[in-house]
Amino acid sequence: MQKNNYTITVNEQSNFDFDAEQINDFDFIKEKDGHFHILKNNKAFRAEIVNANFSKKTFTIKVNGNSYEIKLADRFDQLVNQLGLSVVNTQKVTDVKAPMPGLVLGVSVEIGQEVQKGDALLILEAMKMENVIKSVGEGIVKAIHIDQGKAVEKGQLLIEME
């Protein structure tokens, strides 16, 4: 892994390595904001930068009218991938069950709603204390099996997620 090498992923399918020195093989002419005329091996290309997210190193470009999603990985990104540290730990929620017997004081979600880790799902009163039941991961509310003001038992299915 050299200091000026990049791994380029195109449309989440094709990967190839690109040495920063290879940029000299191209002739770039900037036409206007985000538009370029490019020459490579006596072939002309018209390119446009449609979207650029520099912090994530992702770009959407159009070359001769065809759109491409590009992700760049520099030597540090490559090292993180090699060490297995790039795996994002997202947890999908399936069922939300009552952690204790109690009374449902309120339901904070509705069917079809997308929830993220830490979002409040409902309020359960147990032993005169209000407990906010939060999502332990992400998902979409598929069904709600409880009503406000109803008592629930420990382990009872409260919310079904997909």
Give pLDDT, residue 139.
Answer: 87
* Closest by CA position to 71, among listed 85, 92, 86: 86
Domain residue limits at 25: 5-82
38 inside domain: yes
Across 20-146, the runs of DSSP E, i.e. the strands, are 27-32, 35-40, 43-53, 58-63, 66-73, 95-97, 102-107, 114-115, 120-126, 129-134, 139-144
pTM > 0.75: no
Clarify whether residues 26 and 75 are in a common domain. yes
Report if residue 110 sits inside a domain: yes
The answer to whether 26 and 84 are in contact (CB under 8 A) is no
Whether residues 106 and 65 fall in one domain = no
User: DSSP assignment, residue 99?
Assistant: S
Write down the pLDDT at residue 153. Answer: 95
Domain shared by 23 and 65, yes or no: yes
- Res 122: pLDDT: 94
- 124 with 152: CB under 8 angstroms? yes
| Residue stretches of the chain with pLDDT short of 70 | 1-3, 84-91
Per the DSSP assignment, residues forming a β-bridge with 114 are 140
* SS3 state of residue 24: helix
Do residue 44 and residue 10 come from a single domain? Answer: yes
Q: What pLDDT is stored for residue 64 in this prediction?
A: 92
pLDDT at 25: 83
Assess whether 69 and 106 both reside in one domain.
Answer: no
In-domain check, residue 87:
no
* Continuous H helices in the chain: 75-82
How many distinct structural domains can be found in the chain? 2
